[in-house]
Amino acid sequence: MRVRTLGFFCLLVLQALTAVAQGDYSRYETIDVSPYRVRSAFTLPVPPPPPPAAPPAAKASDLDRYFRNGNKLYIDADPRLEALVKRHIEQNQRVTSIQGFRIQVYSGPNREDAYRYKGALLDLPAYASYLDFEDPNYRVRLGDFSNREEAEVALRKVKIQFPESFIVPAQVKPVRSRNVESGG
């Protein structure tokens, strides 16, 4: 009896699947469930109006012309801000090196070769050159670049004379900007 019921059930499922696959839904009773659905009105939020346009900034050429005529700009600021800026400047002046990049021109155990490379770097006076010894090799490097892009530009120039040179990360001397107060 069980086998017969199972067979009959399989036959019904097979007929239902065939009807669904053929798109024949007329044999099945359909119930409209739309009255039971929750209806809610949804409106999209209105975006806020754009902020008013900022007044046009002064062009660099306008400011340059203004200050070239001997005019000065005075800022009335909180004295605590001035003390904070002075402390920041003092801390930055104590920094002797930062993480940056140099171009390595030579690395090897021969001291004479290292001095020869260092002497050849005198043809590139725009960059400081360094001779370091880290057992067992001498390294000749040049430049103090704070970012890799600056080092890449210089490397293109250096590769003309030293094609085997490449960029290495190193502790470099920070580039000191001019002092704003002294104008120099």
pLDDT at 12: 67
pLDDT at 184: 41
**What is the pTM (predicted TM-score) of this model?**
0.48
List Cβ neighbours of 154 (8 Å cut-off, separation of 6 or more): 103, 127, 143, 145
| Domains of the chain: residue spans and CATH | 94-172 (3.30.70.1070)
pLDDT, one tens digit per residue, over 112-141 is 999 999 988 887 788 888 999 888 999 999
SS3 28: coil
pLDDT tops 90 at residue 151: yes
> When comparing pLDDT for 168 and 60, which is higher?
168
Share above pLDDT 90 across residues of the chain, in percent, rounded to a whole number: 24
SS3 2: helix
pLDDT tops 90 at residue 81: no
Whole-number Å distance between alpha carbons of 86 and 175: 19
